[in-house]
Amino acid sequence: MTAARLVRPRLLICIALLAVPASILGRVTKSPAAEPTPVILIQNATILTASHGTVERGSILIKDGKIAEVGASVKAPKGAQVIDAAGQFVMPGIIDCHSHIAVDGSVNEGSISVSSIVNIADVLNPDDVDIYRDLAGGVTVANVLHGSANAIGGQTIVIKLRWGLPASKLPFEGALPGIKFALGENPKRSNFSRGTPRYPATRMGVEETIRGAFTEARDYKATWDLYNKRTAAGEKNLISPRRDLRLDPLVEVLEGKRYVHSHCYREDEILMLLRVAKEFGFKVRTFQHVLEGYKVADEIAAAGAGASTFSDWWAYKVEAYDAIPYNAALMTRRGVVVSVNSDDAEEATHLNQEAAKSMKFGGLSHDEALKLVTLNPAMQLGIDKQVGSIDAGKAADLVIYNHDPLSAYAVVQKTLIDGRVYFDRQRDIADRPVHEREKKALLDKQKKAAEKKPESGDATKKPGEKKPEEKKEEKPKPPQSALVLGGGR
């Protein structure tokens, strides 16, 4: 809990009420998962499967939270809830491979260069309104990452945007955890004033920080492997090695049990991490941002690494000056599995349009562009057997649009996760007047309570006695923006 929350809770509550949209304030306390899973038939829709083309005037049958059937002649079983999507489009739920939503507190543990001990799963905030806003943009899955202040950052987690459920229900069941690496300006701290210097301060230092950590992890793993082997052989009275919480996640990387997602920009850094990964026998699952990936696409593809990039962001710092909007398409053409991510809660609300830009810049087909935010990120996160396309047996994570999702006119009508509707635009609009009244009533109540509260010291003040001059509270200086926003670009 921050100092501001302790000092001025009433003020913060008021600010929060003003900042949250009226359509959110009236969210019912009963979560969707508290109800039985409905049997749903979505019919008469243009279905964009992302795996086997388009089904015109098709239907999707959902049972037990999964897609049971997909086709042009699927019938509704008795008692099924029917959603008539005539003239509308259904696509797989959008998967954001680089997100910082749903994090309670700062996303960066920037004090040390190897912060693999910290875990984003420990600070998930299910009440973050960005979850609902991203649902309204068609996002169903997000890879929530630690920040980029460290050469080796914190542990990451894949979540489903189950708005209304507690934090324990957000993680994507069965998805392998990850860990955030970062290369370049952010970990060497060249894009903001350092205060107290911290190693590394150069790109060489970043490389050696990673190499040094994995050298320790390799030796640590060998010690434990020997202990386990001797224990399995029946040796008695052995003393186990000392646990090292900093090295445990790196051993999981070496064993293929944890994915590496690395923030990067420049081609030389990309090649450097590929060399280090080869040296220690692990794989880089995704290069994040990877704005110069088009220069070394062959090497990325040969290493089996994925690339999760921006559609057209560049020149916001020196590292990004060689970025081009053709990056996603060029890497795709060279055989890299590419996704387009947000790195930003607002950007995530229109990732469908971000994917569409690669049709103009690089000439990707409609299906190829759609995969940039559906099947490809699912493959990068190792969850493509569960989500990412509209196929029988996969989770019913679906989005219904009023126009083709890759059109600038497309607006989400419904977002489903595991066969439950978590966002419904018509219901949202219909409820807004009620929530506006509720919001106003709460603000009026808060205002009246503040007016009735006597000023401090008034009860004991004598007639004619002057009120002692109060000391003005010094406002704490805000932290440097680069430290606050270091989880992003």
Q: Are 379 and 259 in contact (CB under 8 A)?
A: no
Q: Give dist(CA 128, CA 41) in Å, integer.
A: 31
Q: Give dist(CA 480, CA 418) in Å, integer.
A: 41
For residue 64, pLDDT over 50 is answered with yes
Structure tokens at 286: 């995704």
Strand, helix or coil for residue 341: coil
The set of residues, in sequence order, having a beta carbon less than 8 Å from that of 13 and lying 6+ positions away, is 446
Dihedral angle computed from the Cα positions of residues 404, 409, 410 and 413, in that order, rounded to the nearest 10 degrees = -130
Q: pLDDT tens, 159-191?
A: 999 999 999 999 999 999 999 999 999 999 877
In degrees, to the nearest 5, what angle opens at C-alpha 340 toward C-alphas 325 and 106? 115
In degrees, to the nearest 5, what angle opens at C-alpha 129 toward C-alphas 127 and 131? 90
Average confidence (pLDDT) over 380-400: 98
For residue 26, pLDDT over 60 is answered with no
The set of residues, in sequence order, having a beta carbon less than 8 Å from that of 158 and lying 6+ positions away, is 141, 142, 143, 144, 171, 172, 175, 177, 178, 381, 383
What are φ and ψ of residue 68, in 5° steps? -90, -40
Q: pLDDT tens, 97-155?
A: 999 999 988 899 999 999 999 999 999 999 999 999 999 999 999 999 999 999 999 99
Q: pLDDT tens, 318-375?
A: 999 999 999 999 999 999 999 999 999 999 999 999 999 999 999 999 999 999 999 9
Q: What is the pTM of this model?
A: 0.87
For residue 15, pLDDT over 50 is answered with no
Predicted confidence at residue 423, as pLDDT, reads 98
Candidates 194, 93, 192, 108; CA nearest to 151 is: 108
Q: Give dist(CA 264, CA 326) in Å, integer.
A: 17
Structure confidence at residue 259 as a pLDDT band (50, 70, 90) = very high
Predicted confidence at residue 12, as pLDDT, reads 42
Q: Give dist(CA 181, CA 204) in Å, integer.
A: 15
